[in-house]
Structure 1
Amino acid sequence: MKKRTDRSGKSARAGRAVPFRLKIEELSESGHGLGFYKKRTIRVPKTLPGEEVEVVYRSENPPRARIELKRILHPSPHRQNPPCRYFEDCGGCHLQHLAYPEQLRFKRQIVQRHFLEHPGLRPVTIHPVEGMPNPFYYRNKCQMPFRFQEGQVVYGLYQAGTHQLVALDECLVENRDANQALRVVRDWMRRFRILPYDERSGEGVVRHLLVRKGMFTNQVMVVLVVAREEVPHWQELLRDLKAGVPSLRSFQFNINTGQTNRILGERTLPVWGEACIEEQLGTLKFRIYLDTFFQINSVQTVKILERLQSRLQAPPEAHLLDLYAGVGILSLSLARQVAAVTGVELVPAAVQAARQNALDNGITNARFICGDAAQVAGELLAENRPADICLLNPPRKGVEPAVLEAIGKMRPEQIAYLSCHPRSLARDLSQLVEMGYRCEDVFLYDMFPQTYHVESLAFLRRQ
């Protein structure tokens, strides 16, 4: 039997919206509701377990956007009205519709699921997630693009899974100074008709604004990412920023001339103020430069450092090895508890910042090496300088196999592993357990409230 076609020759069924009801059974790791329909798993964003919903299947949409939520028939008792008016469209946050205590419980469950996949990790104690008193305005780093939409300059974040910009006037997870700086730049661009950069044509001036803030020092850095060195009316912009952001300490231009979606270019021009700002974490101060990694949540970072200092009890002659040292936040915070610190980092700018941070804080027993973690660990072993304590804070992909192998040969007495990715954490901890370590417990921190991300701090001891 032939399908009926319209005058264009398309099937009459093509593009037809098919509604059906669904019960949401659980949340995926990315915070989307999951239900089951005709033996298929259906993913419905912005829904919660226990809810009965009506959805529509649209075959003409891209595969990940074919299910549209039409209405919630029976809402979860844990559902709340999202505080942000952009939440339904913006892809920046994932869980604002879920009450905060339930967000914390969900994140712990994510970690627990991954640990259950590894028999050697099933006995490990996973503590409840430590939340924030105020789970908004917490980010110390902000970067947003500027675009020309509907006849005016706007800034914002992208809709989930698309390149469609959602224009914002305020972001509730960015710090207040960053929000103010964004508005100042937008208004300046509108007043002087400064055009945003257009990726397709390669024309325009302003690409992004990057703002970094010391949350405890109240120092602010503003970096305007531009497509060329000549920025008209920049003096007026500086004046407006000084007036609108009284904590401003550094203003810079980053030049990105490439036709690319990369945020930063290769050259940075100082315009006014210092090259860096400072952040206070406990008793130590750290320099923050434009392009060096720094933990995004200063409040929760202090809690992590306090936990490290209380749990890693080492003899005074101990040697501490930090294999993903960054700017030295973890290792310098522990330096006064040990005889010597060796930090290893692949990024030269971060190594330079770590050395300067040690000098600024009067720490003389720490050295930082620019190099590959596995190679440096092997060299230390060859020099008969094994580590008593090893710190691991790798990127999301986890610890490289060669680094794990080097740790196995070095056999430090204690290991502390800080991770932002539960899956790679569980994989690596399972291998360390097979190498003769016991994972004692894992502490969880809500480093990224309103999102599905969670920070884990695991402690291991050699058996």
Structure 2
Amino acid sequence: MKKVVRNGDIIELQINGLGHGGEGVGRYEDMAVFVPGALTGERVKAKLMQVKKSFARAELLAILTKAEQRINPPCHFAHQCGGCQLQHLDYQEQLAHKKSVVESALRRIAKIQNVAVQPTLGMEHPWHYRNKIHLQLKQAGKQIKLGFFAEGSYELAAGLGDQVCLLVDQQINQVVASVEQLINKSGLTVYDWSTKTGLLRHIIIRRGFKTGEMMVVIVTSEERWPKESEWAETLVQRHPEIVSVVRNINTSPDRVILGREDRVLVGKSFITDELNGLQFHISAASFYQVNPQQTEVLYNKVLEMAGLEDKETVVDAYCGIGTIATFLAGHAKQVIGMEIVPAAVEDARKNAELNGITNTEFHTGMVEKLLPHLVSEGLRPDLLVLDPPRKGCEKEVLQAIQEARVPRVVYVSCDPATLARDLGILDSLGYQTIQVQPVDMFPWTGHVECVVLMSRT
């Protein structure tokens, strides 16, 4: 008779692999059990926390047999903060795991068996790489603390005022400490999500990796802040590298991060950074890759796969502020960018002008509407670059690629599952996957970026 498995049961489990999020996976009573913090080859004691029909999630209680690839996490908050899932795993093993995640997705979801996934391109020094931090705020007694929520909760698990995040640029860490001090010194209030009162909702800090320019975005409710400019000026006096302090006003009752109104308190509305000698203006709401060193690796791989000869028409779908479009423009006849966020499109146009590029054009709207429309009007690109959000591409986008008979497609993805889904659809539409290259944009986390070359058969 099969044993009844319940929440709260203490079990021993052999870990046979890692899940896509980096959690250990074993089997118990014919069900998969996911154990965050456990590694392949370990035998562990765990407490079942969430039992479903075919799987369960468990809390790691003890490691009975330790894996050779286990290391001691250097971060004080590694077991509390939801930011790093793999700090206990040797870095080279992380790269191998991420390659296997991509391989598994291609086999299971895309049903693609005959394409070799290349080894993951990692970092020589995989610390302090992030050029952006998004901070939560919490009232702790008489003090306001800045930090990160624990995974799956709204509880502050990592307070950074007197600590540092090992993934974040060192100068950003220094500014975090100053922002926390000035918030407490000024008597500002934290937004209360239950009563919808209070001022401060989020803090965002960005830094240009090559330029050193910094931006601080204070996301607030619409409450009055009488001395907002003085507060911002004091921060800039402490850190002259800050060239932009922006107050973003968010009136949404939900936990969406940014609102629609920006007020520049000090300096400019943007910072500037460089990639491969190209300059980019980055505003408060702009999407910009958080790992600039690996971004150059990623985009150079896109350029390599594109195989341009200065005569092609290229479409950059989901173009953001035009980073990939600008990368490709010097090697193509024309680049057409498409992006749903109006502010990003405006940044893309300014970035092209900033770099003296005259062969790009950018369209505002949903790619799933813009691309089919332009194809129906006769657009026939020689290359199409896809860099969609995590949810992947809408079916209308993939169908438009087929209708336009695009010879080559380069797909950049931050989610192996949706990437594999879309590759499977494109395969059924007559596109063969030629090359798959994972890039480690997010060391010590379970996330992996991929760039894929497809060719029309």
Instruction: Please tell me the TM-score bracket, short chain as reference.
Output: over 0.9
Letter in 1 for 2:137: F
2-structure distance, mates of 1:100, 1:45: 17
2-structure distance, mates of 1:87, 1:184: 23
CA change 1:28–1:149 in 2 (3 A) is same
Aligned with 2:93 (options 99, 102, 105): 102
Q: Per the alignment, in what secondary structure is the counterpart of residue 368 of structure 1?
A: strand
Letter in 2 for 1:305: Y
Shift of 1:17: 5.5
| The 10-residue stretch of structure 1 (419-428 or 432-441) with the greater mean CA deviation from structure 2 | 432-441
Shift of 1:232: 5.0
1-structure distance, mates of 2:375, 2:29: 58
2-structure distance, mates of 1:109, 1:266: 40
CA change 1:292–1:119 in 2 (3 A) is closer
Aligned with 1:344 (options 338, 344, 359): 338
| The 10-residue stretch of structure 1 (98-107 or 168-177) with the greater mean CA deviation from structure 2 | 168-177
Q: Per the alignment, in what secondary structure is the counterpart of residue 102 of structure 2?
A: helix
Aligned with 2:76 (options 73, 85, 93): 85
Deviations 1:243-268 (A, max 9, x none): 44332110111122443322222211
CA change 1:458–1:231 in 2 (3 A) is same
8 A Cα contact 1:229 1:255, kept in partner? no
5 Å-filtered alignment, 1:391-430, equals 391-430=385-424
1-structure distance, mates of 2:50, 2:449: 38
Partner of 2:175: 181
8 A Cα contact 1:185 1:237, kept in partner? no
Shift >6 Å, 4+ stretches:
none
Q: Per the alignment, in what secondary structure is the counterpart of residue 416 of structure 1?
A: strand
Aligned with 2:14 (options 23, 32, 40): 23
1-structure distance, mates of 2:211, 2:186: 33
CA change 1:44–1:344 in 2 (3 A) is same
1-structure distance, mates of 2:413, 2:332: 23
- Determine what percentage of the aligned residue pairs are the same residue: 35
Aligned with 1:259 (options 243, 248, 253): 253
Letter in 2 for 1:107: K
8 A Cα contact 1:177 1:245, kept in partner? no
CA change 1:236–1:119 in 2 (3 A) is closer
Partner of 1:388: 382
RMSD of aligned Cα (Å): 2.4
8 A Cα contact 2:229 2:266, kept in partner? no
5 Å-filtered alignment, 1:270-285, equals 270-285=264-279
Deviations 1:40-63 (A, max 9, x none): 322211110111112234689xxx
Letter in 1 for 2:307: Q
Partner of 1:369: 363
Partner of 1:12: none
Aligned with 1:305 (options 290, 299, 302): 299
- TM-score, reference length from structure 1: 0.91
Shift of 1:172: 1.4
Partner of 2:281: 287
Letter in 2 for 1:339: K
Letter in 2 for 1:75: K
Deviations 1:20-75 (A, max 9, x none): 32111111111111122222322211110111112234689xxx997332211111
Gaps of 5+ in 2: 1-5
CA change 1:283–1:334 in 2 (3 A) is same
Pair 1:133-2:127 in alignment: no
CA change 1:119–1:88 in 2 (3 A) is closer
Gaps of 5+ in 1: 1-14
Shift of 1:207: 1.6
1-structure distance, mates of 2:410, 2:58: 42
Pair 1:434-2:428 in alignment: yes
- TM-score, reference length from structure 2: 0.92
Letter in 2 for 1:133: E
Shift of 1:369: 1.0
Pair member with larger Rg: 1
CA change 1:461–1:16 in 2 (3 A) is closer
Partner of 1:7: none
Aligned with 1:112 (options 99, 103, 108): 103
Shift of 1:233: 4.8
| The 10-residue stretch of structure 1 (310-319 or 337-346) with the greater mean CA deviation from structure 2 | 310-319
Shift of 1:195: 2.2
Letter in 1 for 2:420: A
Partner of 1:356: 350
